[in-house]
Structure 1
Amino acid sequence: MEVFNTPNKVIITCNRRLSPYLAQEVEALGFDIVRAFNTGVEVNASVNACIRLNLNLRIASQVLYEIKSFHAKNADELYQALVTIAWEELLPFEGYFSVTSNVHNETITTPLFANVKVKDAIVDRIKDKKGVRPNTGPELNQAVIHLHWIEDRAEIFLDTSGETLAKHGYRKHPGKAPMLEALATATIMATQWDRKSPFVNPMCGSGTLAIEAALMAQKRMPGLLRMNYAFMHFIGYNEEVFFEERRRLKESTDKKNLPHIIASDISDVAIDIAKSNAKTAGVEHLITFEVGDFAKTTIPEENGVIMFNPEYGERLGVHTKLEATYKRIGDFMKQECKGYRGYIFTGNLDLAKKIGLQASRRFEFFTGKLDCRLLQYELYEGSKEKPAASELRQDSKERSTGGKIHKLIRVSNKDNNDR
């Protein structure tokens, strides 16, 4: 079964509310989007093309290449359909594979049972053809097979990624409540930062936002930090394709005319962690780290973007200390960041009201299962800011992803269980 050079249906997944930004990335790579939905996009591509996607995408989670779609009412029908696939042409019989799944079928009480049926079909097929049983287990560091089974419709994929792409591999020390790397990238894309003007990140924590900004400015792809993908463990893999793409990415890295990026935090421990992460990412030299209260952060004279990701506190309830912090953030942006565009990422809309500035735009995101907003503030040179006591009153009714990004795709009305 030739998959490395045969275009077929490919699903690129991402976390909820990130698909418009993922679509922008995918289209920038020259792929046509067949369909978009809440947690990903569909394209038509070969597994060799999936190698390029894996190395270039910042926002994706998995790149899934479809092998077969079929109807299955129960586990027995699932097994019967899967055992007919020529797995011996896809998986090395002396190798190792794992199975992941997204299952919603009334006959299945746990996805683990469906996973076992998939493993049984593959192992039985290969044993019948080769006389050897391949090893299986939960680790995602070699070949990975993914089952998507909703009601009686099933699809089986080669997961060409393995470990998630949403983590970019540089964060060896995560720090306290770190933002997922893919989410950080999407929030920066939402600001439409030009990657040339200053990017300032007070209260930087483990440095994810500043590091992602530096990677984006340098056009340095996270794929350069990773040397193992699931596509390497399927029959037909040609390592020359992988290394040629890595070479191209290295050559396209921009090392000139880079912007001023500043990251500050009141905790010297947090700054040490951020520096360590930036060093692993290869961008430590591009970021100016400062220890101190956010109000002391250096603000370059040329206008740029300033982004905060403060603590949210509990979703409900009032926290006097955090209320005061959010008010100070608003005062600082208004007084010291004139000419910049200000952004605050928060999961607590009650606290956001304490900022005292009127948000010009609101972008919806999730972090984990928490409903969040990226709030945009125009910090005019004059005194055009008007505090709005009810600035977020209509927020729950808004569904904006912002600007050109929102126009890139139309998300399907039916997300088919986020797929």
Structure 2
Amino acid sequence: MELFTLVAPCHFGLEAVLKREIYDLGYEITQVEDGRVIFEGDAEAICRANIYLRTAERVLLSIGRFKATTFESLFEQVKALAWEKYIPKDGKFWVKKASSIKSKLYSTSDIQSIVKKAIVERLKTTYNVSWFEEDGAEYPIRVFLMKDEVLVTLDTSGVSLHKRGYRTVSGKAPISETLAAALIMLTPWRGERSFVDPFCGSGTFAIEAAMMAANIAPGLNRSFTAENWTNLIERQLWYDVAKEAGEDIDTETVTDIQAYDIDGEVLKVARENAKRAGVDGMIHFQQRDVRDLNHSKKYGFVITNPPYGERLEEKEALGPLYSAIKEAMSRLDTWSFYLITSYEDAQRDIGKKATKNRKIYNGMIKTYFYQYPGPKPPKKKK
């Protein structure tokens, strides 16, 4: 059984959540860095990580890691890697993306060009050809430079893992599926507790929560680039892992997940998204103002992405909006409230400092995840 070094990028600051997920899948983590977790696994691990991980952005197969401060050094060290072990003679390969941070080599276009040329030179010698048809499976390459250290990888996922396949249209200021899942997993919420998102938009928080409650693997209804890498992964492995994930689903589980929005049109989108995700029967959608937020049950969770007021005319409405959240918190005094927002005066208008506060980038927007955990429910008598 051959072991690969696998790299799972994630949102900065949420590495611990992804680390827990990888441990739960049974794989050994070798390193945790800013924005990524590195672990070891076999061919099946590539399938399982892509299908099961909720918070990873993609799964990369590490080809090599080394230091380079000149383009000549970069070329020679990339060429020295055993590319024939990964890319077959008919493989279509290109450098999909290169990034460089605090490195002497900073031109990403030059990095891409030189890495591609080095791989071509290596494979020309190995396969004894002067031209590659590149009409077989795709092998996209991603290269990362950080402080002159180069990490060269193959992208097993293809389209980013946040694209589960259920969201075709987004509302305003959408939150990605992977970020929504990670934020929910940062809280103590479990499927048996009530869950409300009063600013549901396209429904991402509620849908991710329902998928967790029903044990639906996030990658079950999409495809991955590495499915065609039959030189490395037997196709049957993908079928076996998908079958296992399908058998774990329990949409009959009893949940209380509610999603509200004041915009009726955006609710239509949310309902369609939930239907595509297979959880429409688990979520109660309703057109409702946050000022009417209430619930008959105790010890529930509000996890939400309220408006940020990115446009000037919207900022004026934010004070009263966050004051409405304050009112809801006083009505639901046994509930836990978790909000991600870029609104700097959120705590002032809520009238209460968050117990915990994490800085997280939602795309290019600097946001804060304000955490107001409520009291723990009394233990059930045996």
Q: TM-score, normalised by structure 1?
A: 0.81
Paired residue for 2:235, among 236, 239, 245? 239
Deviation at 1:74, TM superposition (A): 1.7
Paired residue for 1:304, among 296, 300, 324? 300
User: Which residue is 2:221 aligned to?
Assistant: 225
Structure 2 residue matching 1:203: 3-state secondary structure: coil
Deviation at 1:71, TM superposition (A): 3.8
Give CA deviations for 1:235-291 in whole Å, capped at 9, x if unaligned.
232011111000000111123333111001110111011111111111111111101
Identity of aligned residues (%): 31
Identify which range, 8-17 or 260-269, moves more after superposition: 8-17
Alignment CA distance shift 1:103-1:343 (3 Å):
closer
Match runs of 1:285-300 below 5 Å: 285-297=281-293, 299-300=295-296
User: Which residue is 2:122 aligned to?
Assistant: 125
Instruction: Give distance in 2, aligned partners of 1:68 and 1:380.
Output: 49
Instruction: Give distance in 2, aligned partners of 1:327 and 1:152.
Output: 48
Runs of at least 5 residues in structure 2 that lack an aligned partner in the other structure: 377-382
Alignment CA distance shift 1:362-1:106 (3 Å):
closer
User: Which residue is 1:166 aligned to?
Assistant: 162
User: Which residue is 1:19 aligned to?
Assistant: 15
User: Which residue is 1:79 aligned to?
Assistant: 75
Alignment CA distance shift 1:169-1:318 (3 Å):
closer
User: Which residue is 2:262 aligned to?
Assistant: 266
Deviation at 1:36, TM superposition (A): 1.5
Instruction: Give distance in 2, aligned partners of 1:16 and 1:76.
Output: 32
Instruction: Give distance in 2, aligned partners of 1:63 and 1:356.
Output: 42
Alignment CA distance shift 1:154-1:301 (3 Å):
closer
Give CA deviations for 1:31-75 in whole Å, capped at 9, x if unaligned.
232221221112122333122111110111122222223343322
Matched, 1:351 2:350: no
Paired residue for 1:374, among 357, 369, 377? 369
Task: Name the amino acid aligned to 1:117.
Answer: I
Alignment CA distance shift 1:32-1:317 (3 Å):
farther
RMSD, matched Cα? 2.6
Q: TM-score, normalised by structure 2?
A: 0.89
Paired residue for 1:29, among 19, 25, 32? 25
Q: 1:199, 1:304 within 8 Å by CA — same for their partners in 2?
A: yes
Q: 2:100, 2:145 within 8 Å by CA — same for their partners in 1?
A: yes
Matched, 1:144 2:143: no
Paired residue for 2:317, among 321, 327, 332? 321
Number of positions where the alignment pairs a residue of Structure 1 with one of Structure 2: 372
Instruction: Give distance in 2, aligned partners of 1:317 and 1:266.
Output: 18
Alignment CA distance shift 1:357-1:220 (3 Å):
same
Identify which range, 105-114 or 23-32, moves more after superposition: 105-114
Give CA deviations for 1:319-346 in whole Å, capped at 9, x if unaligned.
33210111011102212x2321122221
Identify which range, 245-254 or 233-242, moves more after superposition: 233-242
Structure 1 residue matching 2:169: 3-state secondary structure: coil
Alignment CA distance shift 1:84-1:343 (3 Å):
closer
Identify which range, 121-130 or 218-227, moves more after superposition: 121-130
Deviation at 1:359, TM superposition (A): 2.6
Task: Name the amino acid aligned to 1:108.
Answer: L
User: Which residue is 2:108 aligned to?
Assistant: 111
Task: Name the amino acid aligned to 2:64.
Answer: K
Task: Name the amino acid aligned to 2:17.
Answer: Y
Instruction: Give distance in 1, aligned partners of 2:248 and 2:19.
Output: 21
Alignment CA distance shift 1:150-1:349 (3 Å):
closer
Instruction: Give distance in 1, aligned partners of 2:223 and 2:163.
Output: 14
Instruction: Give distance in 1, aligned partners of 2:81 and 2:353.
Output: 58
User: Which residue is 1:70 aligned to?
Assistant: 66
Alignment CA distance shift 1:365-1:304 (3 Å):
same
User: Which residue is 1:205 aligned to?
Assistant: 201
Q: 2:347, 2:354 within 8 Å by CA — same for their partners in 1?
A: no
Match runs of 1:387-402 below 5 Å: none
Instruction: Give distance in 2, aligned partners of 1:104 and 1:307.
Output: 34
Instruction: Give distance in 2, aligned partners of 1:261 and 1:318.
Output: 28
